[in-house]
Amino acid sequence: MSELDLHRLGIGTWQNDPTTCADSIATALETGYRHVDTAQDYDNEGAVGDGLAKADVPREELFLATKVNTDNLAYDDVLESTRESLEKLGTDYLDLLYVHWPMETYDPEETLAAFDELYDEGTIRHVGVSNFEPETLDTAREVLDAPVFANQVELHPFLQQTELREYAAEHDHRLVGYSPLARGDVLENEVLGDIAEKHDASPAQVALAWALGLENVSVVPKATSAAHIRDNWDAYDIALDDEDRERIAALDAGERRVDFPSAPWHN
């Protein structure tokens, strides 16, 4: 597996309770995952750090990402909260740091200047944004000195994010999909179930295999149990054909599982 492939399927930690999160992370790393995704807002960075410490994987083999919460996006708060995240995670650098949402205390000039400072000093290896639309991406790219490495957004067969995928390909950054199983709704879909039966797989594996076959796309499905962590990992082994992909493409209805009136796409 190439380094690019290695980071295409990550382990997400949203709503992974601190009491189970450390074991989940250790299991994921033992299974083969190397991309670990968390956030200040998830309130489990300490547990993620415990899981990283439990697993016998050198730090340089890991791709570790977290996100700065919306109330920490003032310049000094970005710097201070990132130091706190590093301490909780038990590391002295991050492979990727995201702006979690372009909302509340987010100000492109002030927020992104702090990200540039962290990048220049080597505290973060890459700058990311999350839940950004093309217009906010344009502004971020203009303001930042560092390149935008990734935009993390909701992505699954019912919300295929064609415009943002095209934007990512044009501007050479990754689109990282959260909720790639549509909060479990892929498990009930007849089309995905039919394709899963054809490949002797689960609907979740089919949804992940579809996403992993997209250009410039990574996904970070949340999984807590060892069975689900390994089931998701086995999506790498599924080879969807053109007919499968056409059927999945027809499922795109622009349906979000994460939505609220002040979300960036409503502005």
Active site residues: 42
Separation of alpha carbons 22 and 42, rounded Å = 13
Class of residue 49 by CB neighbours under 10 A (exposed 0-12, middle 13-18, buried 19+): buried
Q: Are 62 and 34 in contact (CB under 8 A)?
A: yes
**In angstroms, rounded to a whole number, what is the distance separating the alpha carbons of residues 96 and 68?**
11
CA distance 210 to 218: 11
Within a 13 Å sphere around the CA of 179, how many CA atoms are in the beta-carbon half? 19
